[in-house]
Amino acid sequence: MAKKTLNVGIVGYGFMGRTHANAFRKVTNFFDLPATPVLKAACGRDEAKLKAYCDRWGWESAETDWRKLIDRKDIDVIDICTPNDSHAEIAIAAARAGKMVMCEKPLAMNGPQGEEMVRVIEETKVPNMVWYNYRRVPAVTFAKQLIDEGRLGRIFHYRAKFLQDWTISADLPQGGAGLWRLDAGAAGSGVTGDLLAHCIDTALWLNGTIGSVSAMTETFIKQRTHTATGTVQEVKIDDACAFLARFDNGSLATFESTRYARGHKALYTLEINGENASIAWDLHDLHRLQFFDYKDQGSLRGWRSIHITDGDHPYMSKWWVPGLQIGYEHTFVHQVADFFEGAANGKSVAPTFRDALETQYVCDAVLDSAKNGRWQDVKHAI
């Protein structure tokens, strides 16, 4: 069979632009795919930065207007790595132009905007996917397998946290390079859309839909200089957010995220307690899975620390040998591999735009609850 190639046009060259480019470049060294990505064109507004980005990663051409990129006949896939406020416009235009769409998370600025994106993308039937990359950490994918095999039994509890400490200093400005996440205009929300969205996406995948939530948010540093205006302005994003949730399967959950947890760089942790077994995982040691099996002989029960580097662990046969760990960047490679596997056959892979809309609905309910102080039901997309 002759291998098919699909030309990728990427919009955005920031941090995510790097992780995606790296994934497109290296996927074929490790995975055998029915369709393989070609780094055809990159798009961004700053010509010098764009050129440097293309040179470094081998993008064949450059565009400074994403509309032109979408117009190009030689582009099959549009990959969106821009700040959140432009996802909808680009994705909708791309879909209408018949391009497959890979979109950074969170899908949209809010549920209604996401609904419109889902409506169009499903009408056009183009393969689509949102970059919730942590589903494809091998340990997390393996957790999903264990759950699907029924090893946990009835689920009682789910817990997730995403703790960082990088914005504690009051001197940090809002907006500007690498800091658009502190600007509500570009980001929509703070940790809720940035970090909790990851926790929610994984949770929906592992534990099903959420029925209702009760949340609180806080902005610890109330004013920061805005890079765009140079003036001190009110900070409108949430620095921290925690919420209680009830899943539709009857389990209870706590979620929390903050950028003010001194000592934690990017500590995404999750734990799920079932009648027969429990699972825990942590991004700071992403190549390990903690597993407790009540079916083990009583006196020998304990949490197992499984080093997820064996050939029979998800994705791991593609990499090195047992004991040798992979890291953060590999999750994007896995996502590219799966997307192109699907795309070769015209199919989407999860999380699709619709899956990501469900996450958006939870975020919306969380932010609403934090504002009005009441339990909030979650609208459903799936």
Near a second copy in 297-336, by CB under 8 A: 298-307, 309-310, 312-313, 319-330
Count CB-CB contacts under 10 A for residue 267.
16
374 binds a second copy (CB under 8 A): yes
Residues between 20 and 59 with contacts to a second copy, criterion CB under 8 A:
21-22, 25-26, 28-29, 56-57
Exposed/middle/buried for residue 282 (C-beta within 10 Å: 0-12, 13-18, 19+): middle
Structural tokens at position 122: 């499903």
| Secondary structure of residue 295 in the 3-state scheme | coil
Structural tokens at position 365: 């309910």
Q: Per this entry, what is the length of the chain? A: 382
Q: How far is the CB of 67 from a second copy (least distance, A)?
A: 28
254 binds a second copy (CB under 8 A): yes
For a second copy, the closer CB: 60 or 320: 320
| Secondary structure of residue 34 in the 3-state scheme | coil
What pairing do the DSSP bridges indicate for beta strands 223-225 and 232-234?
A: antiparallel
For a second copy, the closer CB: 226 or 264: 264
For a second copy, the closer CB: 180 or 243: 243
Residues between 146 and 165 with contacts to a second copy, criterion CB under 8 A:
156-157, 159, 163-165
Residue 272 to residue 142: CA distance in whole angstroms: 13
Count CB-CB contacts under 10 A for residue 190.
28
* Phi/psi of residue 201, nearest 5 degrees: -55, -50
Helices 111-124 and 87-96, packing angle to 10 deg:
10
Q: How far is the CB of 127 from a second copy (least distance, A)?
A: 25
Q: How far is the CB of 299 from a second copy (least distance, A)?
A: 5
For a second copy, the closer CB: 45 or 166: 166
Residues between 165 and 224 with contacts to a second copy, criterion CB under 8 A:
165-166, 168, 214-216, 218, 220
Residues between 109 and 148 with contacts to a second copy, criterion CB under 8 A:
142
Residues between 57 and 96 with contacts to a second copy, criterion CB under 8 A:
57
For a second copy, the closer CB: 233 or 273: 273
Closest residue by Cα to residue 282 from 273, 295, 270? 270
264 binds a second copy (CB under 8 A): yes
For a second copy, the closer CB: 352 or 376: 376
